[in-house]
Chain A
Amino acid sequence: MANKKKFKVTFNMLLFLIWILIFIGIAATSPVFLSPSYLLNVMLRNIIEIGMVALPMTLIIIMGGIDLSVGNIMILAATLGGLAAVTYGSAVAVIVTILTGLVCGLINGLVIVKAKISPMVTTLATMYLYLGISRGISKGSSIYSFDFATTMGTTSLFGIPVQVWIYVLLVVIFTVLLAKTTLGRKLYSIGLNENATQYAGIDVGKIKIAMYIICGLICALASFIWLGRFTSIKFDAGTNFNMKVITIVVLGGTSINGGIGSMIGTIIGTLIIATLNSGLTVMNIPIDVQTIVHGSVLIVALIAYAVVNSRAKKKKLIKIEAAPKQVASM
Chain B
Amino acid sequence: MKKTILELKDIVKSFPGVLALNRLKFDLKSGEVHAICGENGAGKSTLMKVVCGVYKPDEGEIYVDGVPQSFSSPLDAYRNGVSIIFQETSLFEEMTVLDNIFLGHEIIKKKAGLKLLDYAAMRKKATEIFDRLNTKIDLNACIKTLGMAQKQMVEIAKALTFDANIIIFDEPTASLTQREVDALFDIINKLKQEGRGIVYISHRLEEIFQICDRVTVIRDGQYISTRNVADTNKDELVADMVGRAMTNYYPKAQTDIGEEIFRVEHYYDDGFLKDINFYVRKGEIVGFAGLAGCGRTELMQSICGFTGKAAGKVFLNGEEIEIHNYNDAKNRGIVYVSEDRGKYGLIVDMSIEQNITLPQLQNFANNMSIIDTEKEAEIAGKYLKEFEIKAPDTEFLVANLSGGNQQKVSVSKALALNPTLLILDEPTRGVDVNAKAEIHKIISELTRRNLSIIMISSELPELLGMCDRIYVMKDGSIAGCFDRGEFTQEKILSIALD
A interface residues (Cβ-Cβ under 8 A, vs B): 1, 4, 176, 180-183, 185-186, 188-189, 192-193, 195-203, 259, 315-318, 320, 322-323, 325-326, 329-330
Contact = CB atoms under 8 A, between A and B. Distances in A.
Contacts, number: 98
Contacts of B345: 196, 199
A249 to B, nearest CB: 19
B421 to A, nearest CB: 15
Contacts of B327: 201, 203
B16 A192 contact: no
Nearest to A4: B393
B17 A199 contact: no
Contact of B393 (A1, A196, A200, A323): A1
A182 B392 contact: no
12 contacts: A185-B371, A192-B349, A198-B326, A199-B344, A199-B345, A201-B325, A317-B16, A317-B400, A322-B19, A323-B22, A323-B222, A326-B23
Contacts of B368: 181
B361 A185 contact: yes
B18 interface: yes
Given A181-B370, A201-B330, A320-B402, 14 more contacts: A4-B393, A182-B362, A186-B361, A188-B350, A189-B350, A193-B349, A199-B326, A199-B344, A203-B325, A315-B16, A317-B16, A322-B59, A326-B23, A329-B25
Given A1-B392, A180-B370, A193-B347, A322 B358 contact: no
B359 interface: yes
A181 B330 contact: no
A189 B358 contact: yes
A199 B306 contact: yes
B371 A316 contact: no
Interface residues of B, number: 48
A197 B371 CA distance: 17
A210 to B, nearest CB: 13
B18 A185 contact: no
Interface in B10-61: 10, 12, 14, 16-19, 22-23, 25, 58-59
A197 B368 CA distance: 22
B19 A320 contact: yes
Nearest to A317: B16
A259 B349 contact: yes
A99 B10 CA distance: 69
Given A199-B344, A200-B358, A318 B17 contact: yes
Contacts of A186: 361
B107 interface: no
A178 B235 CA distance: 60
B338 interface: yes
A182 B400 contact: no
Contact of B365 (A181, A192, A197, A329): A181
Contacts of A320: 14, 17-19, 402, 432
A185 B14 CA distance: 33
A325 B369 contact: no
B187 interface: no
Nearest to B362: A182
**Residue among B25, B354, B368, B370 having the largest count of chain A Cβ atoms under 10 Å:** B370
Given A192-B350, A197-B347, A322-B12, A182 B22 contact: no
B144 interface: no
Contacts of B226: 330
Contacts of B19: 320, 322
Contact of A201 (B16, B343, B359, B370): B359
A38 B40 CA distance: 70
A181 B371 contact: yes
A298 to B, nearest CB: 25
B383 to A, nearest CB: 16
A199 B392 CA distance: 27
A196 B330 CA distance: 15
B204 interface: no
A198 B368 CA distance: 23
Interface string B391-421: 0110000011010000000000100000000
A273 to B, nearest CB: 29
A197 B16 CA distance: 23
A176 B371 CA distance: 11
B137 to A, nearest CB: 35
Contacts of B10: 325
B492 interface: no
B234 interface: no
Contacts of B16: 315, 317
Contacts of B399: 315
Given A192-B347, A199-B345, A325-B10, A182 B326 contact: no
A199 B338 contact: yes
A316 B326 CA distance: 34
Contacts of A195: 343-344
B390 interface: yes
Contacts of A197: 347, 358
A80 B326 CA distance: 42
B461 to A, nearest CB: 22
Nearest to B306: A199
B77 interface: no
A48 to B, nearest CB: 27
